[in-house]
């Protein structure tokens, strides 16, 4: 099963991907995580991506597509969940070509849906571990000890792009550049929508039901 988890910033793509990976033997490919790792490791890719990410803008297509191509070269037949890619129609078209080239087919695009005000509170309240990247929320999933990761003991911080002024730009970019990707996959007959409200477990049950 090869999937795309689609939806606005903060809708729960990363959270649901982690649950799916725990249950099924799948590779989680998050372009946001790949960029954050590149920034942490101070690579050329990270230097190119950082200013776009900090401002809440999309990294240019050619950079993202090149990075995803490299990941697919090393997939070794493993099933995947794409999270945060494709985010533009050009990226969706490039992915189709890439999948064709490597002889893999995409099974489904699951789009999570949550009202805008909930997206903002999920994003402003999100905290992440700067060591292992574990994701928390100050209300719905706080770490046991404030500011400390339950899993690795490192510090838990707010992402630069989870500040309110940057969130506004990210949500605008989603509306203008990413939402049109929905039509691309609807035309391929692969797009389904899942209610992303309620607890993490409730959403996961809906995702699993959708996957059959
Ligand atoms: P990226 O990291 O992909 O950000 P995003 O798409 O904005 O998604 P998020 O990580 O913000 O949210 P999510 O949907 O994964 O939500 P999560 O599960 O964490 O990208 C960052 C940047 O990288 C982009 O802005 C861009 O600059 C660049 N980039 C990446 N890919 C790119 C591409 N393809 N093209 C160009 N540029 C690209 O949940 C959010 C919070 O809500 C958490 O605190 C979580 O605990 C909480 N939560 C989750 N589910 C629930 C629930 N059911 N109930 C209550 N709280 C919940």
Q: For every one of its 212 residues, what pLDDT tens digit does the chain have, with 9 covering 90 and above?
A: 999 999 999 999 999 999 999 999 899 999 999 999 999 999 999 999 999 999 999 999 999 999 999 999 988 889 999 999 999 999 999 999 999 998 999 999 999 999 999 999 999 999 999 999 999 999 999 999 999 999 999 999 999 999 999 999 999 999 999 999 999 999 999 999 999 999 999 999 999 999 98
pLDDT score recorded for residue 210: 95
56 lines ligand 1 (CB under 6 A): yes
Residue 18 Cα: closest atom of ligand 1: 18
Q: Note the pTM of the prediction, 2 decimals.
A: 0.96
| Catalytic site residue from 27, 159, 190, 206 | 159
Residue with tokens 């990247």, as numbered in its chain: 133
Q: What is the pLDDT of residue 156?
A: 97
| Cα–Cα dist 68/76, whole Å | 14
Neighbours of 89 (CB within 10 A): 15
Q: Which atom of ligand 1 is nearest to the CA of 33?
A: 2
Centre of ligand 1 from the C-alpha of residue 123, in Å: 8
- Length of the chain counted residue by residue: 212
36 pocket-lining for ligand 1 (C-beta < 6 Å): no
3-state SS, one letter per residue, for the chain? CCEEEECCCCCCHHHHHHHHHHHCCEEEEEHHHHHHHHHHCCCHHHHHHHHHHHHCCCCCHHHHHHHHHHHHHCCCCCEEEEECCCCCHHHHHHHHHHHHHHCCCCCEEEEEECCHHHHHHHHHCEEEECCCCCEEECCCECCCECCECCCCCCEEECCHHHCHHHHHHHHHHHHHHHCCHHHHHHHCCCEEEEECCCCHHHHHHHHHHHHC
Dihedral over Cα of 161, 167, 168, 174: its sign: positive
pLDDT of 123: 98
**Residue 13 designated active-site:** yes
Q: Is position 27 annotated as part of the catalytic site? A: no
Q: Which of 173, 164, 178 is nearest to 122 (CA)?
A: 164
Q: pLDDT tens, 126-140?
A: 999 999 999 999 999
Q: Is 141 in the pocket of ligand 1 (CB under 6 A)?
A: yes
């Amino acid at each position: 099963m090869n999937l795309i988890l689609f939806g606005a910033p903060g809708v729960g793509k990363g959270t649901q991907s982690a649950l799916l990976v725990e249950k099924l033997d799948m590779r989680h490919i998050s372009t946001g995580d790949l960029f954050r790792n590149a920034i942490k490791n101070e690579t050329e890719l990270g230097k190119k991506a950082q200013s776009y990410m900090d401002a809440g803008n999309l990294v240019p297509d050619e950079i993202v597509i090149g990075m995803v191509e490299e990941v697919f070269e090393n997939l070794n037949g493993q099933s995947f969940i794409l999270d945060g890619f494709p985010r533009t129609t050009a990226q969706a078209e490039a992915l189709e070509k890439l999948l064709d080239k490597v002889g893999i087919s995409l099974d489904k695009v699951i789009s999570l849906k949550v009202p805008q005000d909930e997206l903002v509170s999920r994003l402003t309240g999100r905290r992440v571990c700067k060591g292992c990247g574990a994701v928390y929320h100050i209300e719905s999933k706080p770490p046991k000890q404030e500011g400390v990761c339950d899993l690795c003991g490192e510090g838990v911080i707010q992402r630069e792009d989870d500040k309110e002024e940057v969130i506004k730009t990210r949500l605008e970019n989603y509306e203008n550049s990413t939402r049109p990707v929905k039509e691309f996959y609807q035309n391929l007959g692969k797009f389904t929508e899942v209610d992303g409200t309620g607890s993490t477990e409730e959403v996961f049950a809906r995702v699993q039901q959708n996957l059959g």
